[in-house]
Amino acid sequence: MKLYQPGDTSNAICPDCGKLVSTTFAYRDVPFDDGTGVVKGILAAVCDECEAVVSIPAQSTPAIRRAREAADIPLEVSIPAPEIEIIDAAAYRIDPDATTRLRKSLFAFYLQRLRHDESAAGMLRREFETWNAAKIEQRNRVGKAVRIPQRRLSFKISPKTDRDVQWLMKAIGMNKTDTVRSVIMEIERDLLAPKAPNGLRHLQDIAAVVNA
């Protein structure tokens, strides 16, 4: 790989000028292709005639990747308080010293697992509806006096996890809130319901990294 230095010159087609132009390498702020953010100060080939960024050398790719990873996206939903307790209890079961960061990792882990298991994702909606109906019935049984408060679940997620959320919403045809709740249902079934959860050891290894 050739490493360019600022001030190096080259030739490229400038889309703005519509012709072959000479270019000079310089540090520039470059917007992401999808317009969701800007990479600050990366080396780019700049058109000598109109100053447009014409191309980006391979050596700038890691800086672009880091900037993308830093462009976290808020995920905020309001869900019944007992479901926040599920995710907290699951995090506690993995690591009693778990930080709130583990909540997010746990969510991302189960989301990722559904992403890679289309048959599980396919059954998710019906299972969620059954699960939710059982919760409502249980609430009705204890009576109206027991009011279940809503709590806000708020994460900053990577663009990749956000794409997984969008994918799952589309795959199961549910809104964001119920999609998040169905992932929480998965966490309950996998980590809280069994006496000795299968993946516990693996998740404890993940927690050790997350909490480092």
- Which of 49/118 has CB closer to Zn ion? 49
Report in angstroms the alpha-carbon separations of 108 from 28, 99, 104, 182.
33, 15, 6, 13
Q: Find the shortest distance in angstroms from Cβ 56 to Zn ion.
A: 15
CA distance 203 to 190: 12
Any alpha helices (H) in the chain, and if so which ranges?
A: 61-70, 81-94, 100-115, 118-142, 159-172, 176-187, 200-210
Cross-strand pairs, 151? 79
- Which of 16/117 has CB closer to Zn ion? 16
> How many Å is the maximal CA-CA distance in the chain?
76
Q: Find the shortest distance in angstroms from Cβ 15 to Zn ion.
A: 8
CA distance 41 to 28: 5
Query: Which residues of the chain form contacts with Zn ion (CB under 5 A)?
Result: 14, 16-17, 47, 49-50, 52
Q: Find the shortest distance in angstroms from Cβ 30 to Zn ion.
A: 15
- Which of 21/91 has CB closer to Zn ion? 21
Q: Find the shortest distance in angstroms from Cβ 44 to Zn ion.
A: 13
- Which of 28/181 has CB closer to Zn ion? 28
